[in-house]
Chains A and B, each alone.
Chain A
């Protein structure tokens, strides 16, 4: 498989909540080992698409999804083993969620769920994930204290460590920086640039400048449809294909 094979290929994805169609037939693909950012205002369908990817949309009542969402040429909408699918995708929610367990158990939770119980392997994995999330040196001496007692920024990095703990191929971050300070945000952004060499990252963000700093490709969603999708330099240049894109990323959209 070459570098440029798409890892995710979405075709004509439609998501409706009851009678309301939130995503109107979007198609896009995401290349392996890049950061793909999705920007767009509220209600544009960003989170719906992410939740569709790991099938947590299943928990919502009255939702119907059509089209195809392929990860490695496998349609996730037809996946039999959704738990296996979710392990391939790390998901980070907007607000940090430290589970009410110790820091160690927060990270060891997912591996344990998939049957890993050997102490030394777990120890190594926990250390690796916490290091990847740039949290290890702050918490290594108190792994047994509560994850929920950490500060907001630390909890968000703990959430990232947990999302990495099941060794996913794809990491989805849904507006990860809205509850944390700029310094922590920059640290996590540095982490993401490092992680990109190992996994594919989807970054949903309201901070267009964050997309500009990090992303290789950017997709601009508006009201459930794609306005434009292109290389990030093009999206943020003086000459994107659509005028709306220029106006949105420069803050004159209204």
Chain B
């Protein structure tokens, strides 16, 4: 390293090298960040382009006709909606409450470490294994049959560990000092959780739950084994066409069916189905981000 004497802030070779390395690093990282956007736009553009002949409001709200070679995807769309809402209605409360226990109450002993280990491992189980478990446990053992409820329960089991993990992270982001300050005044753990911990972690908790919507909507294997069917006759515009014990159509399953199982389908129909699936997921994600920003702005420290 050579430092020119006399000039206090002069440019030395070391400074030049340092600046070069710094700008190189910045460009590499920026390029990687930009590379993330490219596939997303490529996928969306390609899908919309291929789907354009079929894309219309009627495609969304009509029922399939001529053996799914024509018409819309209303039964699959509403089926996915039913599955997602029902599965999260089951997994969100259980997951959030379990996470509150693990983060706020549980002491560090072998039993709670076991629960933690179970949560982590459950999150790593492939969806097809969840599907098989759902088939054995809900369809056969619990005798729910191939049904909306069996499929929703399977999806709930699948999303549960991730909801627990994200909720715990949100709870852990509330500084410990707040809890200690509350305990010092004689507040119980529950009073502390209700007054301080939950109001300040709710944005993170909700974001975690909402992001699971896209997962529940997208997974095919778990519902294919437990309650999704190729085709079910449904009245157009019916919002609750499925009973709890009925089999359902779903977007992901429908996409698989029209793409691979039905001969002579108009080429644009699978693409249009994919656009609807992706559009709904992006819409949900966008609303999660909006909610997060809104609640984040209300954050108080």
Contact = CB atoms under 8 A, between A and B. Distances in A.
Contact of A83 (B178, B187, B195, B196): B187
A54 B82 CA distance: 51
Given A83-B186, A113-B187, A162-B185, A61 B301 contact: no
Contacts of B37: none
Contacts of A159: 181
Give the most central of B181, B184, B187, B301: most A CB within 10 Å. Answer: B184
A101 B192 CA distance: 12
B187 A97 contact: no
B113 to A, nearest CB: 12
B195 A101 contact: yes
A174 to B, nearest CB: 10
B99 to A, nearest CB: 19
B178 A56 contact: no
B177 A91 contact: no
A99 B178 contact: yes
B185 A87 contact: yes
Interface in A145-201: 146, 148, 159, 162-163, 165-166
Chain A contact patch, size range:
20 to 34
Interface of B: 107-108, 177-178, 180-188, 191, 195-196, 199-200, 299-301
14 contacts: A59-B183, A61-B108, A83-B187, A85-B186, A86-B186, A87-B186, A98-B301, A99-B196, A100-B200, A100-B300, A110-B186, A163-B185, A166-B185, A166-B186
Contacts of A83: 186-188
Given A100-B178, A100-B200, A101-B196, A113 B300 contact: no
A114 B186 CA distance: 8
A100 B184 contact: no
B177 A165 contact: no
B180 A56 contact: yes
Contacts of B300: 100-101, 146, 148
A7 interface: no
